[in-house]
Structure 1
Amino acid sequence: MSKPTLLILAAGMASRYGSLKQIDTFGPHGETIIDYSIYDAINAGFGKVIFIIREEFVDKMREVFDEKLKGKIEVDYAFQSFDLTRFGIDRVIERSKPWGTAHAVMSAKGLVNEPFCVINADDFYGTDSFNKMAKFLTTEVSDEKMALMGFQVGNTMSDYGYVSRGVCDVDEQGHLKSVTERTNIYYVTDEDGNKKIVYEENDVQHDLAPETRVSMNFWGFTPKIFEVAESMFKGFVEENADNPKSEFFIPSVPDYMVKHGMADFQVIPTSSKWFGVTYKEDKPIVQESISKLIADGAYPDKLF
């Protein structure tokens, strides 16, 4: 079997962060969070990395990544755009931002012909996640069996505001029963002064147990996902043509496939503590976390 590919979602504008966080520096020698993900992916056996970006970012991304990765892993770029004709939709819809993470994945159709992993550019997932996913993608994956890394929501929170997570319902065999995108998860303090996690829906708060498995957009797919997503996307666009804030999220595609008996999704558990940069205030925490990992020997002082 060919080496799996790493697909990195890097087209977001980072409105809550305030700058292009995909290329912001966090390591001691100017390393981005993406650098640590690619380093882990190379060591885990991935053979190619594809950046999903807006076309206007391409020169800057090439400047940051092409030379340092030359000879280490194959690199390519796919562009997430507003052009719907490539997905068989003959209409123009005015929007200020693209159609979401599943739409971003669809942008790589034609560039990926092997099992692949999808991650976010601004999330730090850790070595364990890449090793487990690489093993799955080289030994178990099929069009009827795909996967996601299941993080504990309590290991994925920000102290500085709300976060979005795909909340998973998992059966006793570790298979995904459903995944629901919750876009407003945050900490609150109860009457006894204890901090707890809640998500908000229709202005109502619901408790979320810290050990609840969530998707951090770390998925293991085959190219079959493109076909399913494209079919779903056409209906999504028709239903949401007048809603400029609507987004076609990745979890909706596996959720549909599971509920229609098209595929099983293994929720691969990890106790790794995720960290990422949703807000500017997260940056020093990420830098401190990386410094500790380097001090503990998990990563070299200079990656590339």
Structure 2
Amino acid sequence: MKKPVLVIMAAGMSSRYGGLKQIDPVDQEGHIIMDFSIYDAKRAGFEKVVFIIKKEYEDDFKQAIGDRIEKYMEVAYAYQDINNIPEGFSIPEGREKPWGTAHAVLSAIDEIDGPFAVINADDYYGQHAFKVIYDYLTTHEDDDKYRYTMVGYRLKNTVTDNGYVSRGVCELNEKKELVSVTERTRIEKREEGIAYSEDGGNTWNVIDGDTLVSMNMWGFTRSMLDEIRAGFPQFLEKGLKENPMKCEYYLPSVVSELLAEDRAVVSVLESEDKWYGVTYKEDKPVVVSAIQALKDAGVYPQKLW
């Protein structure tokens, strides 16, 4: 079995944050959130990391983290490019938004030849998550179905006080396998509790804080890349008609289709850790304080590398 690779999605637009949040330091030593993810991944057993970035940010990215990590891990780069679409399709005039998380992962297809874990660049996942996902990826292979996994977090541990977030709300069976994941693109804390809206905030539906959600920490076999590639034209056919400027090809959507077709099993590995991330500038002080507390508790050394 080939060793799992860590894939980090760092090409997303940062409109809500107001800057290139993926490379914004979160401690006095100049570490960024990705430093802690990669440190945890290396402790768990990962030896290669693939950064998915925008080509125009390459120099800044390498200076911020890539060059540093090359001393400790094998590093590769993949570039998410809006122009990278199948023949026969064209980009709507004026569209700048990338094609989503599934398209981002597809960008790394040439760097992945075995199992891989996928994470967001700007989310802190915790040490435990990397250990359990590495252990799963090194002990499971596809058989009559694809054998995938996901680390699920309690919704209450993943919301910010400073606005709304997007989360994949999960439904599980009694075996703790994923039945479905529904992308909720607007979830926030409100007076009545945590709630989501599907109409831009006009109406709200309260949701239990203990609900398991996806933070885009997935574990796949190489087969997932072939499925993403095969489904991309169909997504574009529909998306360009219905929402040409903003449609996105989400990883959870691809997973959901495979589950509906009974072609995959996704084992959900639960994490009770608290998520930290910088969706908004106002989130940063919270992250800085949390990272220092983890260092004080001995979870991380003061200087990682």
Question: So what's the TM-score if we normalise by structure 2?
Answer: 0.95
In structure 1, what residue type is equivalent to 2:136? F
- 1:269-280 maps to which residues of 2 (within 5 A)? 269-280=270-281
**Is residue 146–residue 221 contact of structure 2 (8 Å, CA) maintained in 1?**
no
Give ranges in structure 1 of 5+ residues lacking alignment: 191-195
In structure 1, what residue type is equivalent to 2:109? K
Distance 1:123 1:259 in 2: 28
Is 1:159 the counterpart of 2:166 in the alignment?
Answer: no
- 1:135-214 maps to which residues of 2 (within 5 A)? 135-142=135-142, 144-190=146-192, 196-202=193-199, 203-214=202-213
- 1:43-58 maps to which residues of 2 (within 5 A)? 43-58=43-58
Summarize deviations over 1:63-90 as a string: whole Å, max 9, x none: 22233223311001000002234xx333
In structure 2, what residue type is equivalent to 1:228? E
Distance 1:3 1:43 in 2: 14
Summarize deviations over 1:134-172 as a string: whole Å, max 9, x none: 100101243621000010001000001010000000011
In structure 1, what residue type is equivalent to 2:33? I
Distance 1:13 1:83 in 2: 16
Q: Residue 219 of structure 2 corresponds to which residue in structure 1?
A: 220
Is 1:91 the counterpart of 2:89 in the alignment?
Answer: yes
Distance 1:294 1:252 in 2: 37
Summarize deviations over 1:91-117 as a string: whole Å, max 9, x none: 321321111111101111121001000
In structure 2, what residue type is equivalent to 1:214? V
In structure 2, what residue type is equivalent to 1:268? L
Q: Residue 68 of structure 2 corresponds to which residue in structure 1?
A: 68
Give ranges in structure 2 of 5+ residues lacking alignment: none
Identity over aligned pairs, percent:
44
Distance 2:99 2:283 in 1: 26
Q: Residue 291 of structure 1 corresponds to which residue in structure 2?
A: 292
Residue 232 of structure 1 and its aligned partner are, at CA, apart by: 1.7
Q: Residue 193 of structure 1 corresponds to which residue in structure 2?
A: none
Residue 206 of structure 1 and its aligned partner are, at CA, apart by: 1.2
Q: Residue 229 of structure 2 corresponds to which residue in structure 1?
A: 230
Question: For this pair of structures, how many residues does the alignment match?
Answer: 297
**Is residue 83–residue 91 contact of structure 2 (8 Å, CA) maintained in 1?**
no
**Is residue 84–residue 92 contact of structure 1 (8 Å, CA) maintained in 2?**
no
Question: So what's the TM-score if we normalise by structure 1?
Answer: 0.95
Residue 274 of structure 1 and its aligned partner are, at CA, apart by: 0.7
**Is residue 28–residue 302 contact of structure 1 (8 Å, CA) maintained in 2?**
no
Distance 1:141 1:130 in 2: 18
Distance 1:212 1:256 in 2: 21
Distance 1:103 1:89 in 2: 15
Residue 58 of structure 1 and its aligned partner are, at CA, apart by: 1.0
Residue 223 of structure 1 and its aligned partner are, at CA, apart by: 1.4
